[in-house]
Amino acid sequence: MQLVALQGLKIELGLALFAVTYPPRKAGSGPLFTRLRNPSTGQAALYLFSSDARQLFEVKAFHEEYRSWFIGQAVQQDGRLFFVTRVDPLFLVLFYLAKAEKEQGKFQPLDQILVDAEFSSCTMLLQCTDIAKSIHHIAEEKETGGRKFYKYSEEKTLKWLTKKVNQTVKVLKDHDVSVGGKVQSATFISSKKLAGAVEEDYIRYAHGLISEYLTEELSTTLAKYLRLPEVAVLPKEPLPK
């Protein structure tokens, strides 16, 4: 049940990544489910905009092979458990900013950067509360004729992501999350003393969590910026004949 524990931890990551909350509802309106590009893979993923479109949530499903629900006197065979988790929309904007930098390499209005023929709902990111206030963390900005133009800044982005990593490290330490040894197999069990975790372990683990919202290229660049040593991959032992 590591995933459930992970979701519990995300509640505490608040400033660092996201927080689990219930989407707000308003009379006469409701939240909107839509598909957007996953900022890590660029592939379709399910998201949820709050009723006022000011908050963004990612929707993930936890599925076990043998699970079902009792609803009244009936059995629902689809036993998936869905997690609705608030996500910083700036991660999704970052994907498009970096893409525009590679393709055009010039200052553009944000509404021209957030254009996607396959995922038209991406324009709703402009309505999210924090975008206007936080876009300067990942982009250069200039104003001409009363209109603002933006261009991706790797330097600013790496500084912003480093803050995210540091905030996440603090949460991991505060909750005694086990991050020592092989990070890939660490579980969310309070066993910091047994794990013998060092600062690098925490940073590497936090980097892994942040990287869920970054392209592989940017994740690698961030690891170098954080001065994380490359993890040696041990050769597989030959199978016995």
- Secondary structure (3-state) at 177: strand
Between vectors from CA 30 to CA 69 and to CA 58, what angle results, nearest 5°? 65
Cβ-count burial 150-168 (b if 16+ within 10 Å, e if not): bbbbeebbbebbbebbebb
Cα 108 to its chain centre, rounded Å, is 25
155 vs 75: CA distance, rounded Å: 54
pLDDT in tens, the chain (241 residues): 333 334 444 434 443 444 333 444 443 367 889 999 999 999 999 999 998 889 999 998 776 666 666 666 666 666 667 778 899 999 999 999 999 999 999 999 999 999 999 999 999 999 998 798 899 999 999 999 999 999 999 999 999 999 999 999 999 999 988 886 544 444 444 444 444 568 999 999 999 999 999 999 999 999 999 999 887 655 556 666 5
pTM score, whole prediction? 0.76
Which helix (H) or strand (E) is 192 found in, with range?
helix 192-195
